[in-house]
Amino acid sequence: MEIRQEEPEAAGRNKPLPYCNFWKSRSSKLLLSSVNRGWCGLSAELRSHGQSVFPWRGPQTDTHITVDMSGSESLVTRRATGIIDRYVSRRGTAWLCPPGWSEGSIDVTGELPGILHLYVPANQFSPSKLGINIDESVIGALEYESAFEDPLLAEIAYAIASELQTETSAGSLLVESLASSIAARLVQKHASTSPARSYPLLKTEGLDRRRLFRVLDYIEANLEGDLSIDRMASIACLSRYHFARAFRQAVGQPPHRYVSARRLERAKALLTRGDGPLVDIALSLGFSGQANFNRAFRQATGHAPGRYRQTAGSRRSEFSLTDVRRSLPILA
């Protein structure tokens, strides 16, 4: 994974998390951060850690997951009251710290060039988010865990790191969905409950055409504003977990990809119809700055936004919501 420095962001909506300050030292360098991205469901930092001993305490309310993005073969030792955990870090190695983990230290014997820190709030473990009949105290069942390998959790982390690296117009929706996936995985694999205990799915229905169109109308009306999986799920009268699956089944792609495609069409329309500043278009469509918008637009169309605007007169009109509806499967 190529790691670059984060470019300056526009004035953001999120504030830095206080426990992230524990990593601030000469031996730890912040590479990328979700601050100012407007993410919901989790916060993330990508850092490089040098050889050092870091005094540390866990977050008081969030679950902290750390994943090695690069693979360093460095020995990492975590110490707390009654705990000594030593592990050679490789790509995909993960560590889990539940809320309120006691103070301790982390000893790094070599360079860790790319470590992703994920902070998941307790509300991600609620029944309405997970779509299962689960005791809301399950967050208390998560335990401190020695370093482990979890391919699914690692793939989720790679996707989040990729969104940090190259921002997309629907990245906040993607991260919101991935936050649910992380919470479900932790409950499934890392909660200190009896293996025989099961969590039945909440009773739910599919996404019929009437409710689907209501969601599509809402998305279209808010392409130039904030969109969230939670809000779309409530409009569909489904849990967030079931909504994401039902939407994909009905439309043929997950919510974040659909929104990304619709925002691309809206960007084309805005570029064609007016001469407004590119930075205004970028911010209205969910990007944190013009540079990220330029990069994503060029990747999707092969043209920079300014160049596209210059040649817009010869291009077809925006692919409309009516076109989308006509293309949906007949049984959606």
**32-68 tens-digit pLDDT:** 999 988 898 999 999 999 888 888 766 678 888 999 9
Average pLDDT estimate for 104-127: 89
CB 297, CB 303: distance < 8 Å: yes
pTM above 0.95, yes or no: no
Q: What is the CATH number of domain 18-190?
A: 2.60.120.10
Banded pLDDT at 209 (limits 50, 70, 90): confident
Between 13-27, 85-99, 135-149, the lowest mean confidence (pLDDT) is in 13-27
pLDDT: which is higher, 227 or 239: 227
pLDDT at 33: 94
Confidence of residue 94 (pLDDT cuts 50, 70, 90): very high
Provide the sign of the torsion angle of the four alpha carbons 321, 326, 329, 330, taken in this order: positive
Which pLDDT score is estimated for 159? 95
The CATH topology of domain 205-332 is: Arc Repressor Mutant, subunit A (1.10.10)
Distance of CA 44 to the CA centre of its chain: 8
The lowest-confidence range among 46-50, 251-255, 326-330 is 326-330
pLDDT at 319 over 50: yes
For residue 326, the model assigns a pLDDT of 63
For residue 43, the model assigns a pLDDT of 94
Q: What are the residue boundaries of the structural domains of the chain, listed by start?
A: 18-190, 205-332
